Amino acid sequence: MLVTGGSGGIGGATARLLAAEGADVVVHYHHGRERAEAIGAEIGARVAGADLTDEAQVARLFDEAGELDACAAIAGVWPQADEPVWRLSLERWRATLDANLTATFLTARGFLAQLGDREGALVLCGSTAGLVGEAGHADYAAAKAAITGGLLRSLKNEAVRRNPHCRVNAVAPGWTESPMTRGHVDPEMVRRISRTMALRKVGQPEDVAAAVVTLLSPALSGHVTGQVVTVAGGMEGRVIHDDEA
């Protein structure tokens, strides 16, 4: 099984949980080779690097990974700066779509192309930003909405052309403590962002990993495809203004 973004918080937790379930895991990284190698050593997994926005590197990654039954396409980038659309540069817009949507497309293509006659299970990674929007991050919200919308729903129907049992699902994490959100989840921030959440806490990478592994499992999710599992403590997309004005 391949976990893209295995060097990151959610991908790392997914790789650990898959290995604990007995899976033979390949931990993918981009810049974080050392983090990936540490996880690989811990769980007895191979590691493989690639920039997933680069077609040739993705092809090499799938060559190196060998025959895969399952893939968790977790890699993604959330640009931290809050930039409303009227200030958002075309450069950032393109880079964000590339690092999230294009990377997920190339991963899905690589995985399905190598599947042969194996059943196959693929999990994509969206975000609550893609479901309810995220002010200051329209580029990221649009990329994630495309992943859990048109891409997922098309892949779900295409995957069965590869194998009649092949399934494609997605997770949509809300705020999750990981390197991506480091510095953004102090207690005041948690109080503010949890105002539309039933569970007033940020998620842990393991919370998302559990949903990914459940969706990959043919035993637990054998008749589940095309679904988005939101892991966000019951978050809603309502706008709550700070004042009563």
Ligand X SMILES: NC(=O)c1ccc[n+]([C@@H]2O[C@H](COP(=O)([O-])OP(=O)(O)OC[C@H]3O[C@@H](n4cnc5c(N)ncnc54)[C@H](OP(=O)(O)O)[C@@H]3O)[C@@H](O)[C@H]2O)c1
* Residues with catalytic function: 140
CB 148 within 8 A of CB 170: yes
The correct pick among 2, 7, 170, 209 for binding ligand X (CB under 6 A) is 7
Q: Which two tokens stand for residue 218?
A: 């043919």
Q: How many helices (H) and strands (E) in the chain?
A: 11, 7
DSSP E strand boundaries for 90-191: 121-125, 167-173
The correct pick among 40, 43, 65, 76 for binding ligand X (CB under 6 A) is 76
Dist. CA 180–CA 57, nearest whole Å: 23
Residue 7 or 114 having the CB closest to ligand X:
7
Q: b or e along 110-132 (b: 16 or more beta carbons within 10 Å of the residue's beta carbon)?
A: bbbebbeeebbbbbbbbbbbbbb
Q: How far is the CB of 183 from ligand X (least distance, A)?
A: 12
The site string for ligand X over 42-71 (x = CB under 6 A, - otherwise) reads: ---------xxx------------------
Write down how long the chain is. Answer: 245
Dist. CA 6–CA 33, nearest whole Å: 10
The dihedral of CA 34, 54, 137, 143: what is its sign?
negative
212 binds ligand X (CB under 6 A): no
Interacting span for ligand X (CB under 6 A) from 17-25, 62-70, 178-186, 236-244:
178-186
Residue 112 or 211 having the CB closest to ligand X:
211
Q: List the interface residues with ligand X, window 96-115 (CB under 6 A).
A: 99, 103
40 binds ligand X (CB under 6 A): no
CB 145 within 8 A of CB 131: yes
Q: How far is the CB of 244 from ligand X (least distance, A)?
A: 29
Q: How far is the CB of 132 from ligand X (least distance, A)?
A: 12
Q: How far is the CB of 165 from ligand X (least distance, A)?
A: 26
180 binds ligand X (CB under 6 A): yes
Residue 10 or 197 having the CB closest to ligand X:
10
SS3 169: strand
2 binds ligand X (CB under 6 A): no
The correct pick among 133, 136, 149, 179 for binding ligand X (CB under 6 A) is 179
Enumerate residues 6+ apart whose C-beta is below 8 A from 61. Answer: 2, 28, 48, 49, 50, 52, 110
Task: Note the Cα 139 to chain centre separation in Å.
Answer: 16
SS3 227: coil
CB 55 within 8 A of CB 106: yes
Q: How far is the CB of 73 from ligand X (least distance, A)?
A: 8
Q: How far is the CB of 78 from ligand X (least distance, A)?
A: 5
143 binds ligand X (CB under 6 A): no
Interacting residue ranges for ligand X, rule: CB under 6 A: 5, 7-11, 29-32, 51-53, 74-78, 99, 103, 125, 127, 173, 175-176, 178-181
